[in-house]
Amino acid sequence: MLNHLKKLITEFNDCKTDKERFGFIIKHKGIFTLMLDNDQTCPIISDHISHQFSEADIEDLPELNEFFGYLGESSAVIDLLEVIGVKGKPV
């Protein structure tokens, strides 16, 4: 499972756009959680997954890239809406 998780992180980090990143997170929503800070959107490994491994194993995993846009910005919300099939238009 740890090797599978490393592979998924590499695949996520290879995403070129936030639309690709949102699509990846939706596809693997049981493994990753989005952490929303006041100025960043970044994925983390979901607690029920990370608890299966030692702290050293988790620290040895590659870092997950952040999203380019903060989910609180209209462009990031539009990207997410388009990934789930909803047309959005900023005001």
Q: What is the pLDDT of residues 57-87, one digit of tens each?
A: 999 999 999 999 888 787 888 888 899 999 8
Asked if residue 88 is part of any domain, the answer here is no
Range of the domain at 52: 2-83
Buried b (16+ CB within 10 A) or exposed e, 40-60: ebbbebeeebbeebeeeeeee
Asked if residue 27 is part of any domain, the answer here is yes
- Mean predicted confidence (pLDDT) in 7-13: 97
Supply the angle between the helices 18-27 and 74-83 in degrees, to the nearest 10: 50
The answer to whether 77 touches 19, Cβ cutoff 8 Å, is no
pTM: 0.84
Asked if residue 24 is part of any domain, the answer here is yes
Asked if residue 89 is part of any domain, the answer here is no
Band (pLDDT 50/70/90 cuts) for residue 36 is: confident
